[in-house]
């Protein structure tokens, strides 16, 4: 057995399914950390898969529900708490904890105070201000004047305690699920967005680490130039980092952030890894991301801090999009696996890095990601010439989609193959999780009750075994 967390030591298979996409209880709008999460772990174990990949577990803003636009980069999403498990484990009422529970709660709050206290204060003040962005708050609260914040929070002490308690309950439930997954031989694979939301506790509490004007507004915002996903590029609207300020204390903020992720996960994907080499700066008043420019980042210094804190063999680079030799060199210097997406492979370019024969062991291969259409939806949009190119690479050219592409992904030389759950369920575009560049209607897909059954597990296990991925 490989060292815990070093997924690249052996051939493995995994499934991408966010917790919100688990089948929901009848009275819930989203999946959670209750019984269905444990059933999914059992399903994965039955398939022979040894990795469960999820999207960020952070809270989400009310309007978007995007885990990549969060009011905290450190907190857990309270919507994922199982109320049934909370009651069953005697954690339903903060005021009714026994002595042991109170001690555990207090110790956890002390251990996580560096992010927990700003998160609770920010959330309580945001609620007090009708969920308005902090940049619109009265200046003393916007600027986090200690006396003004203390006075405003005085009447909100119970709410602050509830917010901290909620985070502890999330931590307890996630730790139990992680322990159960480990008992089944599963690694949990998380996702760290490289940028954080402007409207977040992280930026409000640490303004000096970001490129903001005196009123807290970004001078430029994040995004990416025109690419496969968006002809006008994408405006993500996050503030950019002040790398000089971060370097002054040895990138302590990044060390705390990755340590928090490793507390939750065995493996962590760094979303938009190329931003550590250079990031796309878009004028704050520009209508699209087309008119941006690249600005270099201190990639070597930041990655040194991240790898030193996270430990070797635990990070994966999301290296999709506009990738330069400098980005590849940075990834390879730190021995990070990159990503290979089969849906990107068949444009007719013989040098396409996503073609199966170009993968290499030090990579993670996907049929598609949460930003892609499902394989069935993708296949339905291809022209005949592209379909012929795909068939020329398939293990069995006559096999139907999505199983033909799943089989091809599993056959890859890459040490880790991850398949979105929607592909295992054979779903079309109705199962798509996110369409980049669109603001509404994303992040809402859920698996129906009973979808992950014994017959599906047996079918997947046969393919995983044939590909020598029963880790």
Would you name the residues annotated as active-site residues? Answer: 271, 318, 371
* H or E segment to which residue 104 belongs: helix 99-111
3-state SS of 63-96? CCCCCCCCCCCCCCCHHHCCHHHHHHCCCCCHHH
Of 210, 129, 202, 116, the C-alpha closest to 164 is 116
Q: Where are the strands (E) in 116-262, listed by range?
A: 187-193, 220-224, 234-239
Backbone φ, ψ for residue 51 (5° rounding):
-140, 130
Q: What is the largest CA-CA distance in the chain?
A: 70
Of 383, 377, 384, the C-alpha closest to 435 is 377
- The answer, yes or no, to whether the previous bond of 372 is cis (omega within 30 of 0) is no
Q: Taking CA 447 as the corner, what is the angle to CA 391 and CA 397, rounded to the nearest 5 degrees?
A: 10
Which ranges of 381-450 does DSSP label H, i.e. alpha helix?
384-391, 403-411, 421-424
Contact 82, 170 (CB under 8 A): no
- What's the token pair of residue 96? 């009714």
Helix (H, G, I), strand (E, B) or coil at 315: strand
What is the strand order of the sheet 187-193 is part of?
Answer: 315-317, 267-271, 187-193, 51-53, 12-16, 416-420, 363-366, 338-341
Backbone φ, ψ for residue 282 (5° rounding):
-115, 130
Helix (H, G, I), strand (E, B) or coil at 52: strand
């Amino acid at each position: 057995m490989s060292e815990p967390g070093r997924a690249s030591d052996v051939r493995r298979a995994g499934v991408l399914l966010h917790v919100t996409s688990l089948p929901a209880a009848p009275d819930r709008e989203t999946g959670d950390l209750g019984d269905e999460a444990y059933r999914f772990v059992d399903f994965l174990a039955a398939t022979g898969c040894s990795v469960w990949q999820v999207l960020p577990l952070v809270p989400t803003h009310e309007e978007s529900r995007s885990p990549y636009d969060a009011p905290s980069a450190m907190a857990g999403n309270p919507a994922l708490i199982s109320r049934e498990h909370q009651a069953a484990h005697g954690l339903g009422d903060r005021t009714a904890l026994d002595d042991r529970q109170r001690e555990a709660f207090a110790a956890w709050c002390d251990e996580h105070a560096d992010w927990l206290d700003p998160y609770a204060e920010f959330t309580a003040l945001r609620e007090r201000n009708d969920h308005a962005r902090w940049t619109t708050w009265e200046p003393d609260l916007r600027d986090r004047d200690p006396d003004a914040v203390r006075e405003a929070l005085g009447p909100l002490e119970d709410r602050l305690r509830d917010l901290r308690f909620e985070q502890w309950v999330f931590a307890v439930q996630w730790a139990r699920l992680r322990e159960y997954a480990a008992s089944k031989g599963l690694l949990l694979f998380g996702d760290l967005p490289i940028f954080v939301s402007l409207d977040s506790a992280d930026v409000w509490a640490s303004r000096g680490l970001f490129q903001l004007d005196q009123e807290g507004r970004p001078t430029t915002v994040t995004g990416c130039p025109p690419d496969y996903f968006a002809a006008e590029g994408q405006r993500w609207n996050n503030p950019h980092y002040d790398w000089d300020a971060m370097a002054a204390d040895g990138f302590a903020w990044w060390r705390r952030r990755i340590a928090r992720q490793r507390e939750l996960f065995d493996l962590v994907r760094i979303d938009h890894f190329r931003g550590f080499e250079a990031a796309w700066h878009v004028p704050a008043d520009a209508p699209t991301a087309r008119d941006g420019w690249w600005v270099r980042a201190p990639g070597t210094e930041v990655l040194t801090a991240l790898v030193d804190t996270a430990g070797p063999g635990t990070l994966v680079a999301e290296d999709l999009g506009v990738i330069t030799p400098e980005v590849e060199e940075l990834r390879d210097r730190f021995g990070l696996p990159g990503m290979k997406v089969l849906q990107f492979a068949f444009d007719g370019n013989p040098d396409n890095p996503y073609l199966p024969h170009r993968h290499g062991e030090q990579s993670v291969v996907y049929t598609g990601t949460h930003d892609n259409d499902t394989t069935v939806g993708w296949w339905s949009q291809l022209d005949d010439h592209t379909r012929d190119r795909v068939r020329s690479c398939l293990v069995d050219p006559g096999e139907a989609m999505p199983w033909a592409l799943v089989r091809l992904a599993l056959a890859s030389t890459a040490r880790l193959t991850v398949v979105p759950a929607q592909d295992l369920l054979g779903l079309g575009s109705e199962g798509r999780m996110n369409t980049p560049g669109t603001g509404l209607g994303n992040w809402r897909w859920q698996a129906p009750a009973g979808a992950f059954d014994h017959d599906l597990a047996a079918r997947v296990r046969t393919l995983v075994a044939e590909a020598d991925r029963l880790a």
